[in-house]
Structure 1
């Protein structure tokens, strides 16, 4: 559905109780517009104090894992410094609309949600974050939600494309992976807590 197909506004409610509509070029369709501010050099940690790292793996695939790291190891360009891009939108969300990018080997990668093998997952693709997104939902937009009013560093990030799915970490044998996890809004699940110090 295009924006032009849904740009309407109510003109009048007649005595016969019918609501009449007319086209109006002044109305806006659902979209996101990049705000003027962004947070650079942000480090994402899980509740185990592991740092989210993005790096190239086999066959140049971009991988993301949570690993223990010291402050000295977190030098610029090592794949741990994210930029959080804020978006303004015309929706009434219960959080801020954001997108994430990271510089890995002098290339910018954007985090996105996708379906692979019947699973919902998180990946990175080489791409600059766009200024505007005109779709009703986007694979790169996440809704940043506070976990508690007193903790200003811990957040949950819900996919705008896959509502009810949040960024989370999943412990493996050696590493913790970044995943998308189904989670009820009112249930406490610490695997979805992302700490941004």
Structure 2
């Protein structure tokens, strides 16, 4: 039997509950680093509607699920999402991802925010960064499988607002993209996003 040298470092928790090493030479800090983007993915809900991002009145960016034909889904119309996969130093139970979409020749990034006491999802004009150094990010979601047998359906949990998932919610005649509180083992089809 051989012995290997194992380096042990003293650690402490800061006021912000971040973990600090007494001697961090050669160690990586916690951050996300883009591994590769998967281009032109179309998101559908369980009703087979397509997620579409478009400019509304006064250039407000809106995201809704709509019924669309394949002929209507042309490049740049707001339905082809880039999924940016990130490697991180945490032990997450899914892949860290960010989403961007091209609308009228501008790139928009999906992010989580608080508005009027509600947690919601919005899009802002921004190129998704290659590295994210914060401990939590409003653009990172954790992609989780719904079932081992279904390789196309996922849930996406906000890394900033844990326990909140991307979901669709019917409002009048629209199905809007939103964030929804959901227990990890709860079956809620409004949080199921299908990537064909």
Q: TM-score, normalised by structure 2?
A: 0.89
- Distance in 2, matches of 1:22 and 1:31, equals 19
RMSD: 1.3
SS, match of residue 112 in structure 2: strand
Structure 2, gaps ≥5 residues long: 1-7, 12-20
In structure 1, the residue matched to 2:153 is 154
In structure 2, the residue matched to 1:180 is 179
Number of residue equivalences? 180
SS, match of residue 190 in structure 2: helix
In structure 2, the residue matched to 1:164 is 163
Superposed displacement of residue 139, structure 1: 0.2
Superposed displacement of residue 72, structure 1: 1.0
Superposed displacement of residue 115, structure 1: 0.5
In structure 1, the residue matched to 2:121 is 122
SS, match of residue 39 in structure 2: strand
In structure 2, the residue matched to 1:67 is 66
- Distance in 2, matches of 1:177 and 1:120, equals 13
SS, match of residue 155 in structure 1: strand
Equivalent positions of 1:1-197 (< 5 A) are 9-10=9-10, 22-35=22-35, 37-197=36-196
Ranges of 4+ aligned residues in structure 1 off by more than 3 Å: none
Q: TM-score, normalised by structure 1?
A: 0.89
Structure 1, gaps ≥5 residues long: 1-7, 12-20
SS, match of residue 143 in structure 2: strand
